[in-house]
Amino acid sequence: MTGHERREQLLEVSRPLFADKGFEGTSVEEIAARAGVSKPVVYEHFGGKEGIYAVIVDREVAILLTALTGSLREGGHPRVIVERTALALLDYIETNTDGFRILVRDSPVAQATGTFSSLIGDVATQVEEVLAPQFERQGLDPATAPMYAQMLVGMIALTGQWWLDARAPGKHEVAAHLVNLSWNGLQSLEAEPRLTRAAMRPRGRTPNRTEDGHA
């Protein structure tokens, strides 16, 4: 093999190992054995499993970020944007299952710019740019758009993590339910939301008859 081919082979055999066992549970010995090479070959190309892991994470982040931001940048009706973004994540999980497992695992090697949470933060920033003008048009405070963007993207991301193992119902049905909750909720946003008195009551205190649960 050429040097490039060997690097690609090591990355290919390492990916399912990291997905299955995590960073800590994967050894250089296992990687070398899967590739049919000696340990020094792994160290020669990547300096150890840390180097291999970092390259895999960077690649997966780039693939997923491209898919999600592409969905956002296509434009169109806000509901369609939410639908496309939810489907883009589920599509990625379906076709890059090992990659997504690696991204959502915690590892001491993952840097601030190469983690799933940082990726979600990048996507939320772009969602904020979509929400802010929509909020303004609806008479809502555009300054709250960053918070709602985090909520919306977080909901989609966590649902994706659940679907990673559940795989039922199918991705189109999951996406439809995600949009049902997020879009119908966004459509009926209150300009000045308040918690009910019942929710803010100290625990253990019995409500009096005037506390009917309405703010």
Q: Where are the domains of the chain?
A: 54-188
pLDDT score, position 50: 93
Measuring CA to CA, which residue among 183, 163, 184 is closest to residue 172? 163
CA distance 28 to 203: 53
Q: What are the residue ranges of helices labelled H in 74-214?
A: 78-95, 97-104, 116-137, 145-166, 171-187, 197-200
State pLDDT tens for residues 37-53. 999 999 999 999 999 99
Confidence band of 215 (pLDDT split at 50, 70, 90):
very low
pTM of the predicted protein model: 0.85
The superfamily in CATH containing domain 54-188 is Tetracycline Repressor, domain 2 (1.10.357.10)
CA distance 125 to 148: 11
> Quick one: average pLDDT of 194-198?
90
